[in-house]
Amino acid sequence: MEQKKVVETKPVEFYSTNISILQQSQSKLALEYLTSKGYIPTVEELWRITEVFVLCCLQKQDVELKKRIIALDKWVAEKTNPTDQLKQTIINKLSK
C-alpha cells in the first residue's frame, strides 16, 4: 500500500509581515475610495473598513462576510449621499 505524502502548511500568523502589508495596502485603498466619494473617515471608521477589505482578500465570501459588505455599502451610501434633511441643515448653517 502506497502512503500519500502529507504536506504540512504553516498557519498564517495574524501579525505576519504579509498581513501587515495587506493591511497597509487595503487601508490606503479604503481611504482613497472614501475620499473619492467626498468623505473623510475617522481613524476608527478607516480601521473598520480596512478590516472588511482585508477579510475580502483573505477568505472566501461566506454569508457573514456578505452581510458585512452589504452593511459597508449602505454605510458608505449614507455618508456620501446625505439625506434631504441633512442637506437642508448644511445649507442653513452655510447661509448664516
Confidence (pTM): 0.66
Instruction: Give the start-to-end residue ranges of the domains of the chain.
Output: 17-95
Report pLDDT for 80.
84
Quickly state the pLDDT bin for 4 (edges 50, 70, 90): low
Task: Give the C-alpha separation, 4 to 53, whole Å.
Answer: 37
Quick one: CA dihedral 52, 54, 57, 62, positive or negative?
negative
Report pLDDT for 63.
93
Tell me the pLDDT tens digit for each residue of 38-87: 889 999 999 999 999 999 999 888 999 999 999 999 999 888 877 666 66
Task: Give the C-alpha separation, 32 to 96, whole Å.
Answer: 32
Task: Give the C-alpha separation, 25 to 30, whole Å.
Answer: 9
**DSSP letter for each residue of 25-49:** HHHHHHHHHHHHTT----HHHHHHH
Asked if 34 and 41 count as a contact pair (C-beta separation under 8 A), the reply is: yes
